[in-house]
Amino acid sequence: LLTPEKAIELLGTMQGGYNIHPLIDALDDAKLAPIAAKALSHTLLMFDNFYDVEEKAKAGNEYAKQVMQSWADAEWFLNRPALAEKLTVTVFKVTGETNTDDLSPAPDAWSRPDIPLHALAMLKNAREGIEPDQPGVVGPIKQIEALQQKGFPLA
């Protein structure tokens, strides 16, 4: 079982979405507010929920003020590791036009968040330079694995 503190910490690992409202609500809980403030300080996909944090800050919530200041100071960006001087990658080139139909198993999936199915169905239809493992069913997994054998990140 998760403690409320651990739950807020885990919500903070998401980049945005369904985690935002519980994190903002936690700014009003003395026990959870420091954890929520830390999480929100590094969350960028806030959209209109930004105004909820701003409202709490204007109402005097110290943790909401900390979040607003963190965003203003761009801590989410400046606290990241510096980029390497040189990056070596292996490029997986997809020829032609690519759209979501090429990357999604929409006709096959009953559930949008079925990540394993998405991974297998991605690029399942053959095209120049793409060799699906099972045309129409499983994308070029073996082709991708062969590129990964070069030892560089795949881009």
Residue 112, both tokens: 């949008």
Q: Are residues 43 and 59 in the same domain?
A: yes
Per-residue pLDDT at 106: 74
Q: Are residues 40 and 55 in the same domain?
A: yes
Total of domains in the chain: 2
Q: Which domain holds residue 28?
A: 4-78
Q: Are residues 8 and 57 in the same domain?
A: yes
In angstroms, the CA 63 to CA 29 distance is: 10
Overall average pLDDT of the 68-94 stretch:
95
Which of 36, 53, 78 is where one domain is finished?
78
Per-residue pLDDT at 100: 81
Q: Are residues 57 and 120 in the same domain?
A: no
What percentage of the chain exceeds 90 in pLDDT? Answer: 76
Per-residue pLDDT at 116: 80
pTM of this structure: 0.65
